[in-house]
Amino acid sequence: MHERTQSLALAVSSSICLLPPLIKLKQAGMSELKPSRPRRRRLDLSPSSQASCSPTSSIHRDDKTSGAKSLSVDTPDSLYERDLVEGAGKVSRGGGSFKNHESSLVVEQRSSPVRREAVNRSPFAMKSHENGEIDLEDGKSEKPVDKVIRSNKLMVHNQALLAGLAYCISSCSMILVNKFVLSSYNFNAGISLMLYQNFISVIIVSTLSFLGIISTEPLTWRLIKVWLSVNVIFVGMLITSMFSLKYINVAMVTVLKNVTNVITAVGEMYLFQKHHDNRVWVALFLMIVSAISGGLTDLSFHAVGYTWQIINCFLTASYSLTLRRVMDTAKQLTRSGNLNEFSMVMLNNTLSLPLGLVLIFVFNEVDYLTTTPLLRLPVFWLVMTLSGFLGLAISFTSMWFLHQTGATTYSLVGSLNKIPLSLAGILLFKVPTSLENSASILFGLVAGVFFARAKMRERP
């Protein structure tokens, strides 16, 4: 009799627990069959709420007075999510009892994106990422991503460093090798040396373009007509550089080349109405002072060499200003509408070949070439060929370095590169110098760096 009474009380208590959902279902009618989003109700899983549905407790309808944490469960998926909570509790606790906040995280992860964002910002989620666990939302580990980012940054940094090093080595080596050929071998045919170097560049660029490694624009008569004025200045710039390098040491050539920046700045102001900051003009003034003081204290002063170098400064500035005027017109005459560095190298060096042949006869270098014994030395040909490769390497490495870094870093490194070049020129060729001349050279190099920094900070 007692067991029957307990069974009857258990049935009545269970019916009372199911009575609120049945009342709501009756009031809603058949609204559950509509395609609208299912309603949610707060299902309290706290011990107090569990006790409310037990046979020995009363009903608690107010969730706020229970003081326990609750889970948001969609009504159609309540059984599935309850199993999910229990499974997550077993995994997280190793088969023991689960905590409410951990189970809440698992169920909220299954729920809407808004609550999933709250889960990712919770201390439990942060702790999981810090311990190197897997993100519940993305399913990806954070540590491998950080390693990939660090490795990519290191790779980019190494490539930029390698490109800068290659550019500095090729730039310095080109000047030093030319100085070695003209001074140490006492080769008196600078135009022929320029012609041979340009011929090697044409062969290499043509081969690379034929193999599809690089892309160059085809040479057309319209493009040649527009570019011819630039090429004449280009050839004159190379020839005067050869002549001045034969008589002047490398350090003074480097300092005197700073005068090109002064001429270019003045030309930009008058031709393109470009105004420069006061810092730029101060740097240019320091360059002029260093060039004058360096020339006055130069123990190996040679008037012919200084004359050629001054002409070279004007031609170099003219080349830069003319190239700026002609570039836009030349781009319109190309097939792709652009003129890259390789196309410019191909265009300049190809057009320089017939002009160089004419200048060889004008300066009477043919007689010298037929009588000099240097052309019978294989080592001399090897050195001249090396100078041709280095001339082309400057174009490749400058493009590579500019692509890896930027115009600012490229300009600054180019100015700083003159310092080791000057020191190497003095030491390798045993240039007689004095303290005053060394101070003038150093002053000019520092002025060049100051000019580069002033141009970086200049407002466009």
The region of weakest confidence among 42-56, 213-227, 374-388 is 42-56
Please indicate, yes or no, if residue 428 is contained in any of the structural domains.
yes
> What is the SS3 assignment for 73?
strand
Please indicate, yes or no, if residue 356 is contained in any of the structural domains.
yes
Which residues, in sequence order, are CB contacts of 272 under 8 Å at separation 6+? 324
What digits encode the pLDDT tens for the residues 337-395? 888 888 888 999 999 999 999 999 999 999 999 999 999 999 999 999 999 999 889 88
The region of weakest confidence among 43-57, 142-156, 188-202, 361-375 is 43-57
Task: Tell me which residue range forms the domain holding 306.
Answer: 166-457
pLDDT at 354: 94
Residues 261 and 199 in one domain: yes
pLDDT at 151: 60
Residues 301 and 353 in one domain: yes
Distance of alpha carbon 151 from alpha carbon 98, whole angstroms: 40
What digits encode the pLDDT tens for the residues 277-316? 888 899 999 999 999 999 999 988 999 999 999 999 999 9
Q: Which two tokens stand for residue 185?
A: 């071998």
Residues 223 and 338 in one domain: yes
Distance of alpha carbon 433 from alpha carbon 173, whole angstroms: 22
pLDDT at 145: 58
Please indicate, yes or no, if residue 175 is contained in any of the structural domains.
yes
pLDDT at 454: 85
Distance of alpha carbon 454 from the chain centroid: 22
Residues 355 and 223 in one domain: yes
Please indicate, yes or no, if residue 149 is contained in any of the structural domains.
no
Residues 172 and 233 in one domain: yes
User: If pLDDT is split at 50, 70 and 90, which confidence band does 147 have?
Assistant: low
Residues 172 and 269 in one domain: yes
Nearest CA among 61, 59, 107, 66 for reference residue 84: 107
Distance of alpha carbon 303 from alpha carbon 243, whole angstroms: 12
Residues 214 and 135 in one domain: no
Task: Name beta bridge partners: 44.
Answer: 70
The total of structural domains in the chain comes to: 2
How many other CB atoms sit within 10 Å of the CB of residue 221? 8
The whole-number average pLDDT for the span 419-434 is 90
The whole-number average pLDDT for the span 201-226 is 91
Please indicate, yes or no, if residue 13 is contained in any of the structural domains.
no
The region of weakest confidence among 110-114, 195-199, 220-224, 400-404 is 110-114
Among 106, 140, 174, give the residue marking a domain's end.
140
Cβ proximity of 404 and 448 under 8 Å = no
Cβ proximity of 405 and 163 under 8 Å = yes
The whole-number average pLDDT for the span 116-141 is 41
What digits encode the pLDDT tens for the residues 13-40? 554 555 555 445 445 444 444 444 444 4
User: Token match 């031709």: residue?
Assistant: 271
How close are the terminal C-alpha atoms of the chain, in Å?
A: 101
How many other CB atoms sit within 10 Å of the CB of residue 73? 22
Among 140, 155, 181, give the residue marking a domain's end.
140
Please indicate, yes or no, if residue 104 is contained in any of the structural domains.
yes
Residues 199 and 238 in one domain: yes
Please indicate, yes or no, if residue 268 is contained in any of the structural domains.
yes
Q: How far is CA 382 from CA 135, 170, 183, 317, in A?
A: 62, 17, 16, 32
Percent of the chain with pLDDT over 70: 65
Residues 244 and 363 in one domain: yes
pLDDT at 341: 81
H or E element that contains 388: helix 378-404
Ranges 132-141, 208-217, 341-350, 375-384, most confident: 375-384
Cβ proximity of 109 and 136 under 8 Å = yes
Distance of alpha carbon 99 from the chain centroid: 50
Nearest CA among 384, 417, 423 for reference residue 398: 417
Residues 344 and 390 in one domain: yes
Angle at 360 between CA 359 and CA 364, to 5 degrees: 110
Which residues, in sequence order, are CB contacts of 88 under 8 Å at separation 6+? 98, 102, 103, 106
The region of weakest confidence among 4-13, 188-197, 253-262, 293-302 is 4-13
The interaxial angle of helices 100-110 and 78-93, nearest 10 deg, is 130
Distance of alpha carbon 425 from alpha carbon 418, whole angstroms: 10
Please indicate, yes or no, if residue 29 is contained in any of the structural domains.
no
Residues 115 and 263 in one domain: no
Residues 194 and 83 in one domain: no
* Phi and psi based region of residue 127 (left: phi greater than 0; alpha: psi -120 to 50; beta: remaining): alpha
Task: Name beta bridge partners: 74.
Answer: 40
